[in-house]
Amino acid sequence: MNLSLNRRRFIQATSSAVATAALLTRSGAARAQSGEVRVVVVGGDVAKAHAEAIIKPFEAETGIKVTPINQDVSAAQIGMMVAANSVSVDVGILSQTGVLDLARHNYLEKIDYSTYKQNELDAMEEYAKKPFGVAPYMYSWVMAFNTDKFPAGKPQPATWADFWDVVKFPGARTLPTGQDGGGPWEEALLADGVPVDKLYPMDIDRVFASLDKIKPHVRKWWNSGSEVFQIMRDNVADLAHSYDGRMVSLVVEGKPIEVNRNRQKLTLDYYYIPKGSPNAQNAQRYIEFATRADRQAALARLFPVGPSNRNAYKQIPDDAARKLATYPEYMANSYAINAEWYAEIGQDGVSNTQRLVQRWNDWILR
């Protein structure tokens, strides 16, 4: 009895061990076959959030090895890679303007939406599913100010006109540099009284006339998210025009910062696949996986970016959801960047982005 039981147990144990071994080898083989995918994750907290929310579960599900690229890869770099037929990126992430530019040069693979589940596709915002890119999240450009300087109960800057009003709200400002084509253009127009539905096509002369007024009060035109983070953290400036994520991080840290989302400028990044990507098939799978509602929710819990998949909000607690740019309540007071206008090429063969850069370069030296 004892013996037989033991033997049965023994057989069970061995067979399951054999089965496990077989499974292991099979998944090992699958891993070898399915190879790798090289994904731009940029770096810092965003990269860490990607690793937890997307990369690890993706590797577990598919056996495909993800090689993260911890670096900003510009549209021009991708263009050079494709033109030189030496592509070392499978999944990239870029602003909508960059992706639009790449698509226009025919540098991108088409996204294969046939593998997406219907319920996921339906829940995804229209802007998020383009032929050459899928947007996993949205973020915004917001106003942030120091609550020690402008405490509750006293007047606080509410609009962009207030931000420009240095008499009513004295203090040092920090705004993003315009050297790469994006910049505080829309905000300058809003401050000057342009209604939000009349922003585009932008009146570039009016933009810079408005910027002239604020120029002497800007302590630093920041270049990177880490810079504006540091500036606001150290009270170098009292008011900032910044990405929302960085400022929300400061609020979470307990710093005296308030984020004002009135007239926040929504923008998004797209996942894309460069033409000639060596692992294009894996890249398609990665993007499909990363844009699922549960993955977007997982990402948003780790890093404050607003999901593009509405179903993701069902899985995010309300206090966390309130930190995100696409939280339904904020949407009414938001507007989106018009990437088409930026990419538009004028009669002189210069795109509006380039026109803004040229104008900026001239303006800073005046």
**Binding footprint of another protein on the chain (CB under 8 A):** 38, 42-47, 69-77, 79-80, 84, 86, 88-89, 101, 105, 177, 179-181, 215, 218-221, 223-226, 229-230, 233-236, 253, 353-354, 357-358, 361-365
Give min distance, CB of 162 to another protein, in A: 23
Give min distance, CB of 284 to another protein, in A: 20
**CB under 8 A, 24+ apart: contacts of 145-154:** 145/238, 145/239, 145/240, 145/257, 145/258, 145/260, 146/171, 146/232, 146/235, 146/238, 146/239, 146/256, 146/257, 147/256, 147/257, 147/258, 148/235, 148/256, 149/238, 150/238
Give min distance, CB of 119 to another protein, in A: 34
* Closer by beta carbon to another protein, 178 or else 292: 178
* Closer by beta carbon to another protein, 53 or else 316: 53
* Closer by beta carbon to another protein, 38 or else 301: 38
DSSP assignment string, 263-330: EEEEEEEEEE-BTT-TTHHHHHHHHHHHTSHHHHHHHHHHS--EESBGGGGGGS-HHHHTTSTT-HHH
Is residue 200 exposed (0-12), middle (13-18) or buried (19+ Cβ within 10 Å)? middle
Residues 330, 340: Cα–Cα separation, whole Å: 24
Is residue 105 exposed (0-12), middle (13-18) or buried (19+ Cβ within 10 Å)? middle
Give min distance, CB of 38 to another protein, in A: 7
| Contact status, residue 279 vs residue 90, Cβ threshold 8 Å | yes
Give min distance, CB of 55 to another protein, in A: 14
* Closer by beta carbon to another protein, 84 or else 167: 84
* Closer by beta carbon to another protein, 27 or else 358: 358
Residue whose C-alpha is closest to residue 188's, from 167, 203, 170: 203
Give min distance, CB of 74 to another protein, in A: 4
Give min distance, CB of 227 to another protein, in A: 8
* Closer by beta carbon to another protein, 309 or else 353: 353
Give min distance, CB of 225 to another protein, in A: 7
Distances (CA, A) of 253 to 172, 215, 256: 22, 30, 9
Handedness of CA 195, 196, 201, 203 (dihedral sign): positive
* Closer by beta carbon to another protein, 9 or else 48: 48
Is residue 226 exposed (0-12), middle (13-18) or buried (19+ Cβ within 10 Å)? exposed
* Closer by beta carbon to another protein, 15 or else 70: 70
Give min distance, CB of 303 to another protein, in A: 11
* Closer by beta carbon to another protein, 146 or else 309: 146
